[in-house]
Amino acid sequence: MAPKILVVEDNEQNLVLMRDILVYHGYAVLTARNGEEGVRLAREERPDLILMDMQMPVLDGFAAVNILRHDPGLHGLRIIAVTSFAMAGDKEKALQAGCDDYLSKPVDILELMATIKRHLGEGKADGE
């Protein structure tokens, strides 16, 4: 079965871009437009990995990750922060908040795919 990835992003253009890339690569993709919706979908759908925008309305990525990391039902969930390169210190903040990794926007497609595969344990046959 294809790994399930939840994309949480309030910018429609970024959301559609990441969703289409992931669908093209064969992943099962869910989307949410804010942190609150993201937390709800994570609990309902149990994705393998979340791409989490950190700047969002309603509930931002930092608050959402904090909630998810305190949910024992979501043990093992991988969370990759996606945030604006302009935001200095966001990488450290995201990792401290409990994210496993960090990607800066605009998202580089090759880096996105390599990061996802690394965290899902795929691609080891390629000598990784």
Please report how close the Cβ of residue 105 comes to Mn ion at its closest, in angstroms. Answer: 9
Helices vs. strands in the chain: H and E counts, helices first: 5, 5
Residue for token pair 């039902």: 73
Q: Which is nearer to Mn ion, 41 or 56 (CB)?
A: 56
10: which residues sit within 8 A by CB, 6+ positions away?
A: 33, 34, 53, 55, 56, 57
Residue for token pair 């990784």: 128
Residues at the site binding Mn ion, with contacts judged by CB under 5 A? 10, 53, 55-56
Q: Which is nearer to Mn ion, 55 or 104 (CB)?
A: 55
Residue 90 φ/ψ, nearest 5 degrees: -70, -30
Please report how close the Cβ of residue 122 comes to Mn ion at its closest, in angstroms. Answer: 27
- Name the closest residue to Mn ion (Cβ): 55
Please report how close the Cβ of residue 46 comes to Mn ion at its closest, in angstroms. Answer: 24
Q: Which is nearer to Mn ion, 2 or 16 (CB)?
A: 16
